[in-house]
């Protein structure tokens, strides 16, 4: 099974909590003995894992440019859902109402990591993105996601519009955001099976993606800025679903 690099306190601790057995090696900066590092080492060792103190140059080489904070781990890739239909089948069998986030062409790993983190926190079942014109999972995404990349499925598809049509056929309501929409995201019935659809940084949703949505809504902007970063917009909408479902 392929290995992946986890860099930073949050990413490594999240994997240790989620699946300690998948962690193969944990390295720390041999010069750090501050309170945070000592607490990290204690937590990892309590999970039955060995911590190896190494020169920071070794960590830099493993992290390959990702900010590691003096902590790097090598772990087996987690087997999360990789097929949308299988995910929907599993949710139906478990009696859960689908709650998804679709990202149309997000290329910034920091934005993807933040979107995954928000999706995980709000209880979304998966994040879906096109295989092309989008960033994949890497060490930067894992670090920013603070463990969400290891526990929330990130499903990439060959044809996003076709996948969206399949979701509609399976009664998943597709809601996109647009500053031209006549009503706001607060007016969406988010208790039904649904997916929020977000566009890429700067460009927004592609035309076919926008036309495939069942509904377009706006996020009210009361200040001088015209739009929100895609990760912030995703968090706002995801938590609207959480709010409505919690009240229900």
Q: What is residue 79's predicted lDDT score, i.e. its pLDDT?
A: 61
Tokens 């996109």 correspond to what residue?
A: 176
Known binding residue 13? Answer is no
146, 57, 43, 136: CA torsion to nearest 10: 20
Q: For CATH 3.30.1330.30, list the domain ranges present in the chain.
A: 1-74
What average pLDDT does this structure show over 74-86? 79
The proportion of the chain whose per-residue pLDDT surpasses 90, expressed as a percent, equals 62
What average pLDDT does this structure show over 88-114? 92
pTM of the predicted protein model: 0.75
Dihedral sign from CA coordinates of 76, 107, 185, 223: positive
Q: Which two tokens stand for residue 48?
A: 């039955």
Check whether 130 has a pLDDT greater than 90: yes
Is 213 within 8 Å of 172 (Cβ atoms)? no
Is 174 within 8 Å of 214 (Cβ atoms)? yes
Known binding residue 219? Answer is yes
Known binding residue 70? Answer is no
Q: Classify 1-74 by CATH class.
A: alpha beta
Question: Among the listed ranges 37-41, 219-223, 224-228, which one has the minimum average pLDDT value?
Answer: 224-228
Instruction: Output the average pLDDT for the chain.
Output: 89
Check whether 238 has a pLDDT greater than 70: yes
According to CATH, the superfamily of the domain at 82-245 is SPOUT methyltransferase, trefoil knot domain (3.40.1280.10)
Check whether 148 has a pLDDT greater than 80: no
Q: For CATH 3.40.1280.10, list the domain ranges present in the chain.
A: 82-245
């Amino acid at each position: 099974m392929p290995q992946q690099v986890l860099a930073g306190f949050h990413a490594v601790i999240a994997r240790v909590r989620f699946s300690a057995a998948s962690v193969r090696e944990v390295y720390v900066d041999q010069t750090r003995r501050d309170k945070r590092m000592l607490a990290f080492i204690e937590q990892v060792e309590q999970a039955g894992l060995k911590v190896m103190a190494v020169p920071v140059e070794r960590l830099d080489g493993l992290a390959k440019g990702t900010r590691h904070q003096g902590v790097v781990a090598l772990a087996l890739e987690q087997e999360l859902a990789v097929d949308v239909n299988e995910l929907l089948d599993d949710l139906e069998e478990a009696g859960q109402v689908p709650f998804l986030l679709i990202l149309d062409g997000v290329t910034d790993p920091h934005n993807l990591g933040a979107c995954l983190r928000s999706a995980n926190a709000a209880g979304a079942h998966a994040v879906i993105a096109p295989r092309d014109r989008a960033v994949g999972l890497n060490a930067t995404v894992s670090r920013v996601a603070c463990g969400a990349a290891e526990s929330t499925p990130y499903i990439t598809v060959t044809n996003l519009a076709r996948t969206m049509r399949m979701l509609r056929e399976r009664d998943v309501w597709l809601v996109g955001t647009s500053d031209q929409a006549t009503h706001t995201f607060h007016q969406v019935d988010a208790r039904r099976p649904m997916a929020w659809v977000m566009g890429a940084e700067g460009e927004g949703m592609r035309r076919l993606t926008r036309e495939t949505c069942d509904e377009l809504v706006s996020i009210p902007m009361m200040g001088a800025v015209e739009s929100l970063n895609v990760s912030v917009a995703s968090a706002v909408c995801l938590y609207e679903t959480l709010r409505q479902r919690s009240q229900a």
